[in-house]
Amino acid sequence: MPPRGRRTESLSKDAIVAAATEILDADGEDALTFRALAARLETGAGAIYWHVANKDELLTAAAADAIDRTLTGVDGIADPREALRAIALRVFDTVDDHPWVATHLARGLGQPGMIAVLDAVGQRVEELGVPTDRLFDTATAVLSYILGGAGQNAANARRHAQDAQAGSRAEALGQESQRWAGLDVDRYPFVRAMADSLRDHDDREQFLAGVELMLDGIGAQKR
């Protein structure tokens, strides 16, 4: 056993980001503090600042890693429609598994790694035959939907996890469905009518239905 004092293994930005990701995945965004991170890395809180400028850089780097991992493999899919579905689902699942990533997806193209997502989406949109002068608008619209849909799902999942203290996710959904069914029919006729749909829906399928809607829109605009 080494004597108390200097660390034996040296710190690195990669090791710090990896440890931060573990904390974020295990205990959520609030649990990531420099003190907790330092404890896990068996170092002092100030040591981390030698490798990362501040907490924002740390979170940005952790999210960028997660986003980079998201896209691996999708370039092997030949059909552009299939590829777009796959890209969308990858982002969706990444956010579902790591809700803390959603915060950084909301930063849009300012978030490192997001350029790669836009490029992947844009290439497939181009392959679908969208005219050059509509490529940018179309690709960013698809990206906006993907990020919005993934973010909404993560928010709903977080909320249902909170609501259902001891119960299951299905129970929380059932409770919200009942709340919808009890809404004023004059003020919220649509949402009220959707109470059953809410109870029975599947988040992934619903998200994919939106992707399909955009693909159909792209197809319609070609005519």
- For residue 112, the minimal CB distance to DNA (Å) is 18
197 contact choice in DNA, a second copy, none (CB below 5 to 8 Å, kind-dependent): a second copy
Tell me: does residue 188 bind DNA (CB under 7 A).
Answer: no
d(CA 138, CA 126): 9
- For residue 46, the minimal CB distance to DNA (Å) is 1
47 contact choice in a second copy, DNA, none (CB below 5 to 8 Å, kind-dependent): DNA
Instruction: Count CB atoms within 10 A of the CB of residue 210.
Output: 15
In this structure, are residues 105 and 135 in contact, taking their beta carbons and an 8 Å threshold? Answer: no
By CB under 8 A, name the binding residues for a second copy: 102-103, 106-110, 115-116, 118-119, 122-123, 126, 134-141, 143-149, 151-152, 155-156, 158-159, 183, 187-191, 193-194, 197-198, 201, 205-207, 209-210, 213-221
Site for DNA in 45-104 (CB under 7 A): 45-47, 49-51, 54-56
CB contact set of 103 (below 8 Å; sequence gap of 6+)? 29, 59, 63
Question: What are the CA-CA distances from residue 141 to residues 52, 162, 179 (Å)?
Answer: 34, 31, 32
Q: Which is nearer to a second copy, 14 or 56 (CB)?
A: 56
139 contact choice in DNA, a second copy, none (CB below 5 to 8 Å, kind-dependent): a second copy
Q: Report the SS3 class of residue 39.
A: helix
Nearest alpha carbon to residue 20 among 3, 49, 41? 41
44 contact choice in a second copy, DNA, none (CB below 5 to 8 Å, kind-dependent): DNA
Side-chain-side CA neighbours of residue 25 (13 Å): 14
151 contact choice in a second copy, DNA, none (CB below 5 to 8 Å, kind-dependent): a second copy
Q: Report the SS3 class of residue 25.
A: helix
Query: 3-state DSSP: the chain helix, strand, coil percent, rounded to 5?
Result: 75, 0, 25
- For residue 44, the minimal CB distance to DNA (Å) is 3
Q: Contact positions toward DNA, by CB under 7 A? A: 5-7, 10-11, 32-36, 42-47, 49-51, 54-56
